[in-house]
Amino acid sequence: MNYHVNEKGFYGGFGGAYIPEMMYQNIEELREKYLDIMNSATFKTEFAQLLRNYVGRPSPLYYAKRMSAHYKTNIYIKREDLNHTGSHKINNTIGQILIARQLGKTRIIAETGAGQHGVATATVCALFGMKCVVYMGSLDVKRQMPNVLRMKMLGADVIPAESGNKTLKDATNEALRDWINNPLDTHYIIGSVVGPHPYPDMVARLQSVISEEIRWQLKEQTGREKPDYVIACVGGGSNAAGAFYHFLEADEVKLVGAEAAGLGVETGETAATLFVGSPGVLHSSLTMLMQTADGQIIEPYSISAGLDYPGIGPQHAYLHKTHRGIYQPVTDKEAVDAAFKLTKLEGIIPALESAHAFALLERIKFKPSDIVVMNLSGRGDKDMQTYIDLMKHEQTK
């Protein structure tokens, strides 16, 4: 089986580039050049150096002793939370700004929901002295003020999107519109394995450093290169795509993704795209998405702002369809419980997104000999207010 993108940008029936004529020039330029750039010695050297000296890679692979004893198996945590800016998102923005520079671009645009991708983009723009414009739904601007202020301090213009529900999907539409109007000097840094070809493949390759490191780190620590399980949360799917990448062809490695079920898949207040969605085109890609019978996007819900996207990367839609990937919905409540458990057992406060992956430890029956790699996509600093409110709520019950 081939789980990678084909010539035309498809994973099985998913993916492609359903773009308006006016965007053809931008996408075509990127499609023609991204692999040559990424395979060039200059790019490889610079990317590796920045990941090492600026981001702080390799991120540790940590044997979680108390958690392993608790679940009676062997749990290794891949610490993407220790990266500069607090999550895996910086791997992608560093890579894309290097590609943008090779393409001769001087201006960067991005969309952001919770602000994590916006901050990672504003960070690399400061690092490279490039102009940066971040589109953000006006509702999210209000909800995520600390990240808005971070982006501004880093020198980015944050433009509130006032259309639709004023959240991530609307910000993405505004960013696409900007790109159509500025095809020559601007590169659009998409924050996940979504959007038109070649973005899903390009972002997965940039994030694949995660599984590349897992392989040699696991070998060093256990003598084995391949775990029995790799488990990650899935919003658009970039941290999962990176953690799965080098294990896709190894059928004995179970690849498990946690989707945000919100209040539960049956309640309608959910972001579990693969469970309530159907095929359709969102942001220029044919994938699974949450839509009404007449094709209107249904607004997703999750306690974690980073997972409430109404679509999912086309590669995950394909891995789900072919059963190479196992995807499970995880509710807000399960994720929160998992976050507190990880904190108490290992002294690690996770991002709410990442906590969705850890909730699956409750559900899967592991063997004592199994090696389980958990991708901890980000740290919990940004979610402290939510955690504090939950603790207050517990005390007053």
Ligand X SMILES: *Cc1c(COP(=O)(O)O)cnc(C)c1O
- Supply the residues annotated as catalytic: 89, 111, 377
Q: Which helix (H) or strand (E) holds 371?
A: strand 371-376
For the chain, how far is it from start to end, CA to CA, in angstroms? 52
Q: Closer to ligand X by CB, 291 or 315: give it.
A: 315
Q: Could you say whether residue 192 binds ligand X (CB under 6 A)?
A: yes
Q: Which of 156, 168, 351, 373 lies at the binding interface for ligand X (CB under 6 A)? A: 351
Percent composition of the chain: helix, strand, coil (DSSP 3-state, to 5): 50, 20, 30
> Does residue 328 interact with ligand X by CB under 6 A?
no
Residue 377 binds ligand X, judged by CB under 6 A: yes
Q: Residue with the closest Cβ to ligand X?
A: 378
CA distance 176 to 111: 9
H-helix or E-strand containing 389? helix 384-396
Closer to ligand X by Cβ: residue 73 or 239: 239
DSSP 56: -
Determine the Cα–Cα distance for residues 326 and 377; give it in Å rounded to an integer. Answer: 18
Does 314 bind ligand X (CB under 6 A)? Our answer is no
The angle subtended at Cα 232 by Cα 189 and Cα 229, nearest 5°, is: 135
Decide if residue 315 touches ligand X (CB under 6 A).
no
Question: Of 186 and 238, which CB lies nearer to ligand X in the complex structure?
Answer: 238
By beta-carbon proximity to ligand X, the closer residue of 74 and 214 is: 214
Question: Which residues in the 193-252 window bind ligand X by CB under 6 A?
Answer: 233-239
Q: Does 89 contact ligand X by CB under 6 A?
A: yes
Given 196, 354, 355, 371, the residue binding ligand X (CB under 6 A):
354
Beta pairing partners, 372:
75, 229
CA angle 169, 101, 90 (to 5 degrees): 50
Cα→Cα distances 88→129, 325, 364, Å: 22, 20, 25
Does position 378 interact with ligand X (CB under 6 A)? The reply is yes
Toward ligand X, which CB reaches closer, 137 or 306?
306
Does residue 353 bind ligand X (CB under 6 A)?
yes
Question: Binding of ligand X at residue 121 (CB under 6 A)?
Answer: no
Interface ranges with ligand X (CB under 6 A): 87, 89, 116, 192, 233-239, 306-307, 351, 353-354, 377-378
